[in-house]
Structure 1
Amino acid sequence: MMAPRKRSPLEIKTTEAHLCSISLRLKILGQVPFFRDLTASDHEWINSLFHEKDFDTDEVICLSGDAAEQLFIIADGRVKLLQHSLEGKEILLDLLTPGEFFGALSGLGNDVYPETAQAHTNCCILVIGRETFQHVLQRYPAVALKLIDIMAGRLRTANERVHQLSALSIEARIASILLMLADKFGERKGNELLLQVPLSREDLAGMSGATTESASRVMSRFQKDGLIRSGRKWVAVIDRAGLEALAGKA
């Protein structure tokens, strides 16, 4: 007799289109790093320039290589940033949450979108076009300066990822990714830190530059060593210090 499958501890919330209200939009715009220091009336004016669009799970929002004409801000739901290897393999670069932005604008140094963005859950996305966003930058020069700083930080992070993929062991890379996801999605459940995001072995393999088989072996070893607890598409961190030691961050 087969043992019953473990029930996932994740609390997945489904986004409904009608939940992307004006109050939510204003709240999210106030959380965006380059809009955060503006006033409530500024946020109301900026909100009037955005239009919202709903995406179903797995629906593509923008494609890598397409002309960069829009900037996207997540109001509700989660978005995957992807690239494809020369062999056509899908590589998961990041998982974005409400208040984070993606896309690019040709006026800010990007002629094309650097990554493909795909809805990880049902999403409500705020969208603004290139010419309209130029009006925002002209009215608030400080926004442009902050945006440049943020983009420079993202470039540094991307360079660090390249270093990790080329210099660190698979164990160190996966430990580092689990720590990053724990900081972003972790929710304390007793003595564990549950990553409140569906996470498959394929996702971990894509983020770490490993094969799915190698990622599965490493995760099994981590579980055996008491560093994590995991099931189908979920992970809980038990020994953060142990993962930090493996990642070289202790």
Structure 2
Amino acid sequence: MAGRKTTPLKDFSLGTHRCSVDLRLEKLSMVPFFTDLDEGKLTAINQQFSAAHHHADETIYHQDERATMLRVVVHGAVKLVRHTMDGKDVLLDMLQPGDYFGNFSTTGKAIYSETARAQTDVCILSIRMSNFRSLLNDYPEVAVAVLDITADRLQSSREKIRHLTTLTVKKRIAHILVMLSEKFGEQNAYGLLLQLPLSRKDLADMVGTSSETASRIMSDFQDQDIIKTGRQWVAISDINRLADIAKE
């Protein structure tokens, strides 16, 4: 159709997509605390998870709801958003297949500290925390890995707070783009294309600024041939320059 907008991004629609056993095992093996398990153990653990599909922009769970599930992304992308007291949204993270999210607590009294929303159509694996606690008892190596990963996440959270409070907005946006390129980057004719829909508001929410400021900085980056952009997509033309800006 003439005049129809095109995008270099993949088609993330679910269509006939299903979370096949092979795909489930592949993505579960990418979860940090399952990485060292053999196929037999992964197969047994997979049976504890249930699959669910969500369409783009659909909420998976809400902040402050009782946290009962641990989840793993199998297909598509998920974003985690925290709602602040002054009514703003802070975009905490973008998740790709193999990433986990939800509740890690074993107390049974935890609440979700963020809202999880489908950035694209997604397939998600979920396990109830009561079942996950049983896994920790059955597989001590998983329990040890969970402890290590929890400590790493705490350090990462502290680093994010430092970025939001000490770096300029320009450096923050450069840092976020470099981080997203490591997770979602795919080399093609446009450059290092971030394979997920990414709006100016998404970027603004990740760095704690306004959409207008994020748009101005992204336009500056484009004028300097550091990035290419279109409707909800970003490709990085000069990753080294972007990394330098993040560190300047």
- Equivalent residues of 1:201, 1:216 under 8 A apart: yes
Residue equivalent to 2:34: 35
Tell me how far 1:7 sits from its aligned partner.
3.1
How far residue 13 of structure 1 moved from its aligned partner, in angstroms, is 2.6
> What displacement does 1:6 show?
6.2
* Distance in 1 separating the partners of 2:5 and 2:56: 24
- Structure 1: give runs of 5+ residues left out of the alignment: none
**1:96 and 2:100 correspond:** no
Give the secondary-structure state (helix, strand or coil) at the position aligned to 2:33.
Answer: coil
Helix, strand or coil at the partner of 2:245: helix
Q: Distance in 2 between matches of 1:55 and 1:11?
A: 17
Write the deviation string for residues 121-154 of structure 1: whole angstroms up to 9, x where unpaired.
Answer: 1221111112111110001111011112112212
Q: How does 1:62-211 map to 2 (within 5 A)?
A: 62-107=61-106, 111-190=110-189, 192-211=191-210
Pair 1:7 & 2:3 matched: no
Q: For structure 2, which runs of at least 5 residues remain unmatched after alignment?
A: none
Deviation of the 1:245 alpha carbon: 1.5
Instruction: Tell which deviates more after alignment, 150-159 or 93-102.
Output: 150-159
The percentage of aligned residue pairs carrying the same residue is 43
Structure 2 Cα separation of the partners of residues 9 and 41 of structure 1: 39
TM-superposed CA distance for 1:15, in Å, is: 2.2
Deviations 1:39-91 (A, max 9, x none): 21111111111111221221111222222211111122211111112222222
| 209 and 100 in structure 1: CA distance in 2 versus 1, 3 angstrom threshold | same
Tell me the CA shift for residue 110 of structure 1: 7.3
TM-score for the superposition, normalised by structure 1: 0.92
Pairwise CA distance, 1:170: 0.7
Alignment RMSD, CA only? 1.9
Alignment TM-score, normalising by the size of structure 2:
0.93
Q: Is the 8 A contact 1:185 1:195 kept in 2?
A: yes
